[in-house]
Structure 1
Amino acid sequence: MVASTVVVQAEEHDDDAAPSSGVSALTRRALSLTGDVIAGVTMATVGVPQLVACSELSGLPGYRGLLSAGLPMLAFGLTTGHPWLCVGVTSVSALMTKENLDGEDYTEAHGVDAYVRLVSVFSLVTGALCILFAYGGLGEVAREMPKAVAAGFTWGASVTIVSIQAPDVLFGHGRSFVAAAAREHLVAPPTFLKGFGTLLKLAWSMVHVELWNIHTMCFAAVTLFVLLHGRPYLPKACPKGSEVLLITALATMCSAAISYRSYGGVVGEVPGSGGDGGQHSLAVPTYPLPLYRIPGLLLSAALCAMVNFTQTVSICASFEEAGVSWGARRELFAQGASCVVAGMTGSPPMSASLSRSEVQKTLGTSTRATAIVNGLILVFLLPAAGLLEHTPKAVLASIIIASIIKKVFLPVGLLELRGQDALIGWVTGATVALATPTIGLIVGLIVGLGLERLAAVLPAVRARFGWHDTRREQAVRTEEVSA
């Protein structure tokens, strides 16, 4: 329709107008592309603190969040068809990586490099499954995850994430300090109740007020205030999300000035920025990879792929109101491509981020050039990774907490559910919070399918055995008499 209109208008004008029209179109296209490039630069710089924070959450050193993110984002930009969709390691994908791979225990037993190799295999398997699902036409199936299960999973995962991050905003040495205290003072729960163990550590942290670190809490409190309430105080010219970059930069400078690392946790020296020869500066995992773990990772990787793509579906569906169409197969393939490249760089699986996608939409992007530039800029930022050395872990933990704290205390998706759906949602959420995300998701799907099947066969069972709902029958008879 638009093309035919352009043709008619071109025929009505004289020949001299045609070059002018062509130049105007080229100018508009050039301006649009320039805007997308600027948006890509903005997205890359604003998103750095979140990348580092999510890397810490996944059990990897924080600096790896920057060193390993560029190439996977570039792969996504080259394969996606959506102008506003932005991917990265999100809090949920980081949590699923850590819980499925026993991040803390595995790192303690085998070292950081071995854990990086295991994360690589997990991302490779997740990406390969995404690509297989895309070619198998399962993208549409993933769109049909029950709303109750998705809402419960989101709440349970948010509770777990806040519980994991809380020690880093209360104690100088955060999770390592609480883990040592837990081994000495707390009884370890069964292996399958990892979430319950995390909640026990949170409870221990909350009651030992005398051990809280005032410097750590100040960093955390200021960060939370700026992220939750500081936006109105910034100039309107600042893009959405710039408050994250601003508070991280200020906190890093303050940390360096007061030598905070002597009594609090910081990102630490980045390999390759000092005198070690830079052997890990490109964040590529050392080989060989533990490929023998692949069979044991298939189920958890498949569920991770499904959860991540469900997030993509919800984001793209919210953008459909603005007239932006999308294809499930292509976006699932793009997610798979980014996860495969993430495996090559030692990064957890990539997932669509609602907050970053909203920022990208606000910046007015019109093509996937923004995603491509975003990835390229992050690759070029590798030499700047050393600037993160003094960034307090309390600030990184606060960035994660600020992004999900409302979902914990006001789970709108769960509170809107009624009846059977409410039961499914709360059971899923509680299982995720007390056990693991994988177990919680499986339990939620089983309970949902079981209740759905029960609702289908219950009328036949009642008729077969003569069971009757006497209160309902009495109400029906009363209505008939009244009529």
Structure 2
Amino acid sequence: MLSEIRDYARSALRDDLVAAAIVSVLLIPQSLAYALLAGLPPQVGLYASLLPLVAYAALGSSPLLCVGPVAVLALMISQALAHVPADVGPQAGALVLAAEVGLLLAAAAWLRLDALASLLSVPVLHGFETGATLSIALSQLPLLLGAPVRGSNLPQLVGAWWRAPSAWQPLTALYGGGALLALWLARRHAGRALARWMSVSRATLLVRLAPLAVLMLAVGAATLTDAGTHGVALVGALPELAPRIGLPPLAAALWWQLLPSALLVALVTFVSSLVVAESLGRRQGTRVEPRRELAGLAAANLAAALSSGMPVAGSFSRSVVSLDAGTRTRMAGVFTALFMALAIVLLARPLAALPAAVLAATIIIAVLSVLDWRPFRQAWLYSRSEGVLMSVVAALTLLQGVAWALGVGVAASIALLLQRTARPHVALIGRVAGTEHFRNVGRHEVQLTPGVMALRIDESLLFTNARQLVDVVQQQLAQASGTQRLVLLMSPVNRIDFSGLAALRALHDTLAARGIRLDLSEVKGPVLDALHAGGWSQWFAGRVFLSHHQAMVDAAGP
């Protein structure tokens, strides 16, 4: 263990500390805002950004995912707590909701329901990433310019901006624009300029510290100019940090009342967090384990329930900032929690003078750095339907929100899968001259065997496509008169369910009525075991061959 600690200290400690310092400063105002959005006291957002980060780091799998309060959950929490009795209060309801979400996610991890993550195809992942990037950048634009508008999606922002009495505040826009320009110059040119005077590693470190430097300069400028009295929105005074550790209320009626909302919050928490973790993991080359993500998110929400917090999930904007700041391991989350606690205690007064526009500039620069339009063109050229799906998910994320985008994306992915598998692909194959290899007659010069038709089944035979098997084979037989024997090459078939077994028997009986013998070749062992278990030997009158070549040269009877 000491050796591992030394290796970590040499290879990743510095990067994790730098990233944690940057993320912790951004996390404080966001936590306050999301707690207020959920209808809770502002300090609840801070509590949800301390122990939950440590709990996720212990059990999660992504080094980049930053858990904590997020906008989507804040809106859902607000709706769920709207009907909590007044004598209970929203804060107690939030604790019960966090506990239920944690227990539901833990049960899903125990039952191995992480397989549901396979429904998130790459088009859905990238569409969500692009839409979330644009949505977050647009949501920060009013803060950047000092406009008194808010909204969780593009139509709400446009409508609020249209109705706003003033479109922007000049001095606020000066702070935001100046910070945006400084961060952009640091990202594009500072690394090369500093590398002329120092080592590349040290120059890279200084570039990563640029957001912190911009924040400190902004605090100094705002303090010297007394910017708050001139209409510049500031972060403001932080509430006192005094979380209470203990169990949430155990009133059965309250738990039962919030259970339906908890189910929906748990689903959105897992799906949206996994999308963020996998999207950013592909960029860094790190592998995300869905079951461990379930466990990590469960631990984070249970920690929130025990420490006066609120339900938490993975945040796209903070995770992107973490990636951009150079996070290497999950220890960055632990350091973020420690730095947040220290910042609340030691930096409450300086942070109160920080212009909100500067924070908005930091988030905009970070999220736009991951914007990539190339996959849209690649998907369109490779598969039009998947290109359209990617665009629809991105548009829905921007126009409606995460829940709509992910719901439609998963449903559309399932529909595309069913469409592709509803009709099994069956290829007429022949022998390549001078070999024992058999290939599709439409793609290769091959030799056919008179009286014997060879077909390759390119799908597993499942309930989604089994009904079409007889029709597909009969269409092939209609083009070749005089067929006495049909040989199905089964090597691509990984599974035959009960519907597939029924379809295989129907094909066998249909061919037998026409005097055609059905043989199989290269059947996989597990598939053959399942056929035998299903009583296949009682009605199958053909033969099973180890290789397709043996099946084609065999002239013996059944």
Q: CA deviation at 1:312?
A: 2.2
Distance 1:403 1:377, change over 3 A: closer
**Stretch moving more, 438-447 or 309-318:** 309-318
CA distance in 2, matches of 1:431, 1:31: 47
TM-score, normalization by structure 2:
0.60
Question: Match of 2:173?
Answer: 217
* 1:244-273 residue CA offsets vs partner (Å, 9 max, x unmatched): 21111221222222222221221211222x
Query: 1:51 Cα shift?
Result: 0.9
Q: 1:283 to 1:402 in 2, by over 3 A?
A: farther
Answer yes or no: is 1:255 the counterpart of 2:211.
Answer: no
Spell out the pairing of 1:322-401 with structure 2 (5 A cutoff).
327-343=289-305, 344-347=307-310, 349-351=312-314, 353-357=319-323, 359-361=325-327, 371-386=333-348, 387-401=350-364
Q: Give the CA deviation at 1:150.
A: 1.9
Q: Distance in 2 between matches of 1:283 and 1:228?
A: 42
2:190 to 206, 224, 233: 233
- Classify 1:311/1:456 alpha carbon distance in 2 versus 1 (closer, same or farther; 3 Å): same
Residues 208-229 of structure 1: CA deviation (Å, up to 9, x unaligned): 7x64211110111122123333
| More strand per residue | 2
Paired with 2:220 and 2:310, the residues of 1 have a C-alpha distance of 27
| Alpha-carbon spacing, 1:440–1:110, altered in 2? closer, same or farther (3 Å) | farther
Q: Do the aligned partners of 2:67 and 2:314 also contact (CA within 8 Å) in 1?
A: yes
Other-structure match for 1:188 = none
Rounded to whole Å, the distance in 2 between the matches of 1:224 and 1:56 is: 23
2:244 & 2:375 partners in 1: Cα distance?
38
CA shift in 2, pair 1:400/1:38, >3 Å: closer
User: Counterpart of 1:87 in structure 2: which amino acid?
Assistant: C
The letter for the 2-side match of 1:444 is: G
AA of the residue aligned to 2:186: G
Amino acid at match of 1:441: L
Is 1:402 matched with 2:358? no
**Aligned partner letter, 2:273:** N
Match of 1:414 in 2: 376
Q: Quick check: 2:190–2:207 contact (8 Å CA) kept in 1? A: no
What whole-Å deviation, never above 9, does each CA across 1:337-381 have from its counterpart, x for those lacking one? 12322343425514272442464556xx6xx65554443343344
CA RMSD in angstroms, aligned pairs only: 4.3
Q: CA deviation at 1:134?
A: 2.0
Cα drift, residue 128 of structure 1: 3.0
Q: Structure 2 CA distance, aligned partners of 1:286 and 1:81?
A: 27
Q: Work out which of the residue numbers 120, 126, 131 in structure 2 matches 1:145.
A: 120
Are the counterparts in 1 of residues 42 and 239 from structure 2 also a CA contact under 8 Å? no
Cα distance in 1 for partners of 2:225, 2:93 equals: 37
Matches of 1:248 and 1:349 in 2, distance apart?
A: 26
Aligned residues: 400
Give 1 or 2 for the bigger CA radius of gyration. Answer: 2
| 1:67-466 map, 5 Å | 68-80=48-60, 84-85=63-64, 87-89=66-68, 94-102=70-78, 120-171=95-146, 174=147, 177-178=148-149, 196-202=155-161, 211-231=167-187, 232-233=189-190, 236=203, 238-239=205-206, 241-262=208-229, 263-272=231-240, 281-282=242-243, 291=255, 292-320=257-285, 327-343=289-305, 344-347=307-310, 349-351=312-314, 353-357=319-323, 359-361=325-327, 371-386=333-348, 387-405=350-368, 410-418=372-380, 419-457=384-422
Cα distance, 1:316–1:405 mapped onto 2, change above 3 Å: closer
Q: Aligned partners of 1:200 and 1:411: how far apart in 2?
A: 27
Select the structure that is richer in helix.
1
Task: Using the TM superposition, give the Cα deviation of residue 437 of structure 1 relative to its aligned residue in structure 2, in angstroms.
Answer: 1.6
> Could you list the per-position Cα deviations for residues 417-455 of structure 1 after superposition, in whole angstroms to 9, with x for gaps in the alignment?
220012222222222323232122212222232243344
- State the Cα distance separating 1:329 from its structure 2 match: 2.8
Give CA deviations for 1:47-84 in whole Å, capped at 9, x if unaligned.
223213533663548876655423222222333466x4
Equivalent residue of 1:417, what SS? helix
Gaps of 5+ in 2: 195-202, 425-464, 472-558
User: What letter is aligned with 1:170?
Assistant: L
RCO comparison, higher one (Cα < 8 Å, 6+): 1
Percent identical pairs in the alignment equals 19
Q: Indicate conservation of the 8 Å contact 2:20/2:322, yes or no.
A: no
User: Amino acid of the residue matched to residue 149 of structure 2?
Assistant: V
Task: Name the CA shift for 1:202/1:455 in 2 (closer, same or farther; >3 Å).
Answer: farther
CA, structure 1 residues 74+302, in 2 after alignment: closer, same or farther (shift >3 Å)? same
**8 Å Cα contact 1:70/1:379 also seen in 2:** yes
Q: 450-459 vs 423-432, which deviates more?
A: 450-459
Partner deviation per Cα, 1:392-417 (whole Å, 9 max, x = no partner): 11122222222223566x54443432
Q: 1:160 to 1:455 in 2, by over 3 A?
A: same
Amino acid at match of 1:42: V
* 1:120-151 Cα distance to aligned partner (Å, 9 max, x none): 55544443333222222233441551112222
In the alignment, the residues of structure 2 paired with residue 46 and residue 447 of structure 1 have an alpha-carbon distance, to the nearest angstrom, of 38
